[in-house]
């Protein structure tokens, strides 16, 4: 079991604000991983009323983070190969149900770790001012990288709530 701390700090090897962001992202991820680490393949594949499985939600979490790497660090959308790799996880629903199943928790955790590793490497190259760079989406909405990475955490926390509900339902059925 990973140690989970409850005081926000600035992670070393990063600038002050990025270090705080990294601490929060790592905290969110630690809690998510602890929720699913010991789930069976059957529990990870369980779907309720056509909803998404825990495995699909975990891979979606990795996919969202990967997309935000591409958007925030490379200023582009997914290319064709990336869209094919992450497509089902991004769209969820029936595409995900068909493509994402029969994998152990270790598979999903490794996907989350691999994507996070890439995020951390790229964040080490950035300074706090980068977080506040003003950018504009094609639809005219202004945003900054800080918002993008806040959204990565927000999305993971939201889906962790769904995961917890599925875990509770699964336990009540046993």
- pLDDT surpasses 90 at 19: yes
pLDDT band at 136; cut points 50, 70, 90: very high
What percent of the chain stands above pLDDT 70? 97
pLDDT band at 1; cut points 50, 70, 90: low
pLDDT of residue 8: 86
pLDDT band at 171; cut points 50, 70, 90: confident
pLDDT of residue 49: 84
pLDDT band at 104; cut points 50, 70, 90: very high
β-pairing verdict for 142-143 and 135-136: antiparallel
Q: Which two tokens stand for residue 128?
A: 């706090």
What does the alpha-carbon distance between residue 143 and residue 133 come to, in Å, rounded to a whole number?
8
Q: Which two tokens stand for residue 87?
A: 């497509």
What does the alpha-carbon distance between residue 157 and residue 168 come to, in Å, rounded to a whole number?
17
The CATH H-level superfamily of 31-168 is dinb family like domain (1.20.120.450)
What percent of the chain stands above pLDDT 90? 87
What does the alpha-carbon distance between residue 165 and residue 160 come to, in Å, rounded to a whole number?
9
Contacts of 128 (CB under 8 A, 6+ apart): 15, 16, 17, 18
What does the alpha-carbon distance between residue 86 and residue 91 come to, in Å, rounded to a whole number?
9
pLDDT of residue 172: 64
- pLDDT surpasses 60 at 100: yes
- pLDDT surpasses 60 at 18: yes
Phi-psi bin for 102: left (phi > 0), alpha (psi -120 to 50), beta? Answer: left
């Amino acid at each position: 079991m990973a140690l989970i701390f409850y005081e926000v700090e600035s992670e070393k090897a990063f600038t002050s604000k990025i270090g705080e962001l990294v601490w929060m992202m790592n905290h969110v991820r630690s809690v998510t991983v602890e929720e699913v680490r010991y789930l069976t393949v059957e529990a990870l594949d369980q779907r309720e009323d056509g909803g998404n499985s825990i495995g699909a939600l975990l891979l979606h979490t990795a996919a969202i983070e990967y997309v935000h790497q591409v958007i925030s660090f490379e200023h582009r959308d997914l290319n064709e190969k990336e869209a094919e790799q992450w497509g089902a996880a991004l769209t969820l629903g029936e595409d995900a149900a068909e493509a994402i199943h029969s994998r152990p928790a270790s598979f999903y955790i490794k996907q989350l770790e691999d994507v996070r590793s890439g995020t951390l490497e790229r964040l080490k190259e950035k300074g706090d001012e980068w977080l506040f760079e003003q950018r504009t989406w094609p639809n005219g909405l202004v945003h900054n990288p800080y918002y993008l990475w806040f959204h990565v955490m927000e999305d993971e926390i939201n889906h962790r709530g769904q995961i917890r509900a599925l875990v509770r339902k699964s336990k009540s059925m046993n």
